């Protein structure tokens, strides 16, 4: 076979694949792809700027605790006790505090004024960076999926592989977030300490079951799409 014939065969191959494999371009998928592109670039920018900002702010935290005004935002449990009933405990253990009934109890994004330790600032910053990086991987593969959907190549053999990765990342990030949230909260409270005798803070653990379920659902969808891609390939190569 000479070069010209070989080129023709290759061109025919591409033509055949296009003829049999591609559907109509999906406008909605194209819009989602554009939004994901913007989110991707914003995330990359944020994840580059964030550690720099954390180090600059961390470096500028004054040595004297009285001069510190660095706020740390973190998801924590809180309980407010009546001041007159509060039992001062030297150990400050949560089990001992259970003897006192709290006035208010809950969990949420707590802003702590970092007056005692510098490392708490870096812990909070590092946790944000780590979870952001894990999410960035998910965003990367999601963009690839929507890039294929946008050109109408829904049943490309790569689509289920990308979707599987998105599913695994969704599950991993939700589990990692819960663990980091708890361990980070414990480390931050250990560094920062309790701010007031009648407000008790403790690390919060709140597994995002919805996020884990979505990850599992994506894995199931990827499995179905894998079969669909095989059927489509068979169909495309049936002459």
Partner 1 sequence: MAKAIKVNLDLLLVQKKKKLKDLSEEVGITMANLSTLKRGKGKAIRFSTLLALCEALDCTPGDLLELEELTQQSN
Q: How far is the CB of 16 from partner 1 (least distance, A)?
A: 4
The structure tokens listed for 211 are 């996020």
By CB under 8 A, what part of segment 7-26 binds partner 1? Answer: 9, 12-13, 15-16, 19
SS3 194: coil
Size of the site for partner 1 (CB under 8 A): 11
SS3 51: helix
SS3 75: strand
Which one, 38 or 239, has the nearer CB to partner 1? 239
Give which of 182, 228, 195 is closest to 68, Cα–Cα: 195
Site string for partner 1, 180-219 (x = CB under 8 A): ----------------------------------------
Which sign does the torsion angle of CA 82, 85, 90, 95 carry? negative
Q: List the one residue from 37, 157, 226, 233 that touches partner 1 (CB under 8 A).
A: 233
Residue 104 falls in which region: left (phi positive, over 0), alpha (psi -120 to 50) or beta: beta
**Residue 239 interacting with partner 1 (CB under 8 A):** yes
Q: How far is the CB of 133 from partner 1 (least distance, A)?
A: 40
The structure tokens listed for 15 are 């033509």
Q: How far is the CB of 5 from partner 1 (least distance, A)?
A: 11
Which one, 2 or 238, has the nearer CB to partner 1? 238
Stated length of the chain: 239
Which one, 63 or 234, has the nearer CB to partner 1? 234
DSSP E strands, 149-218:
199-203
Which one, 209 or 231, has the nearer CB to partner 1? 231
Which one, 52 or 239, has the nearer CB to partner 1? 239
Edge to edge, the sheet with strand 104-114 lists: 104-114, 70-80, 199-203
Give which of 189, 70, 68, 58 is closest to 129, Cα–Cα: 58
Q: List the one residue from 64, 67, 88, 234 that touches partner 1 (CB under 8 A).
A: 234
**Residue 56 interacting with partner 1 (CB under 8 A):** no
**Residue 238 interacting with partner 1 (CB under 8 A):** yes
Q: Enumerate binding residues for partner 1 (CB under 8 A).
A: 9, 12-13, 15-16, 19, 233-234, 237-239
């Amino acid at each position: 076979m000479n070069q010209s014939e070989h080129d023709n065969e290759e061109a025919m191959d591409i033509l055949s694949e296009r003829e049999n494999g591609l559907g109509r371009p999906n406008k909605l998928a194209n819009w989602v792809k554009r939004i994901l592109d913007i989110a991707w670039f914003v995330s990359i920018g944020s994840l580059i700027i964030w550690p720099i900002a954390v180090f600059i702010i961390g470096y500028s935290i004054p040595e004297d605790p009285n001069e510190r005004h660095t706020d740390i935002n973190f998801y924590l449990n809180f309980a407010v006790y009546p001041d007159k009933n509060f039992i001062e405990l030297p150990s400050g253990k949560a089990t001992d505090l259970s003897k006192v009934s709290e006035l208010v109890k809950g969990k949420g994004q707590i802003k702590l004024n970092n007056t005692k330790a510098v490392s708490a600032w870096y812990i909070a910053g590092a946790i944000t960076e780590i979870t952001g990086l894990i999410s960035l991987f998910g965003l990367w593969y999601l963009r690839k999926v929507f890039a294929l959907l946008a050109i109408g190549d829904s049943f490309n053999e790569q689509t289920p592989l990308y979707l599987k990765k998105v599913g695994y990342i969704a599950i991993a990030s939700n589990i990692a977030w819960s663990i980091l949230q708890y361990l980070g909260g414990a480390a931050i409270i250990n560094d920062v300490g309790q701010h007031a005798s009648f407000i008790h803070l403790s690390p919060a653990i709140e597994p995002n079951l919805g996020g884990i379920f979505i990850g599992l659902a994506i894995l199931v969808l990827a499995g179905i799409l894998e079969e669909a891609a095989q059927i489509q390939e068979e169909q495309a190569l049936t002459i």
